Structure 1
Amino acid sequence: MTMHVRVVLLLIFAALGTCSKSYRDRIPNGHNVLDPCDHSVTWPAVGHDSRHPHHHIKHHLLQFGLDFHAAGKRWTGALCRQDSDGDGRTNGEELGDPSCQWSVGDTPSHRVSGHPGFNEHTYCQGLVG
């Protein structure tokens, strides 16, 4: 493989890795969201149905990812108040911004308490059987 091809591949992979990281910076506790069924590991691709999606395309998005996209890929009061996963807790409550006051660069007022894309009560139990 030529040096030119290696450099191009490196740039492509760096760009892909930066995309999800920058989105994680746009939600409270975006780097601290835990796997809904295994709280010992984080879930880097918060809006996706896979911890590490191979392709960042729409059909791999969870409802939270779709809602985030619809909100202009930014944290808004409306997105904060939504319950994207239908578990009875708002996205803000799960991500540590229950009063919907967080802005990019701020420290969230609370710790992350759930994953806004998965209803942990039904999703994790479905995996156990």
Structure 2
Amino acid sequence: MKSIVRAIWVSGFLTLQPGGSALAQDRILISSDWGNVTAKLADNAAARALDGMLPLTIKMDDHLRQEKTGDLPAALPSAPRQRQFSAGTLGLWNSGDFVIYYRQGRVPPPGIVILGQIQGDVSIFDRPGEVTIKIDNAR
């Protein structure tokens, strides 16, 4: 019995270590001509499906001077939604509408699926016009 408990403890410990296989794919790199940022993906089915699509190139348009929006090549599964967002939130409006919020705010019902959070200077997207982004796993 002690060996089983120990094996479970060691397995759990290794899973939580930085660089472990369970954590290797939870960060992404978003790059554009305007700059690069990294983001931590959310723990939900939609974010895992997005991770499975990488690498991606998406043409993004400015919307309401608070976000860049673009079309994913395929729909992502549903996940819980919320109405509030902060600057740097990666979201999913409809099942295929990828959003990078560069200001904080609130969206109307039914809300957005949170895909992740940028961990860098999201103000690189705070400018009018379109931008093409590339999303890949951070290495």
Q: TM-score, normalised by structure 1?
A: 0.32
Q: Relative contact order: is structure 1 or structure 2 higher (C-alpha 8 Å, sep ≥ 6)?
A: 2
Choose between structure 1 and 2: higher helix proportion.
Answer: 1
> Whose radius of gyration is greater, 1 or 2?
2
Q: TM-score, normalised by structure 2?
A: 0.30
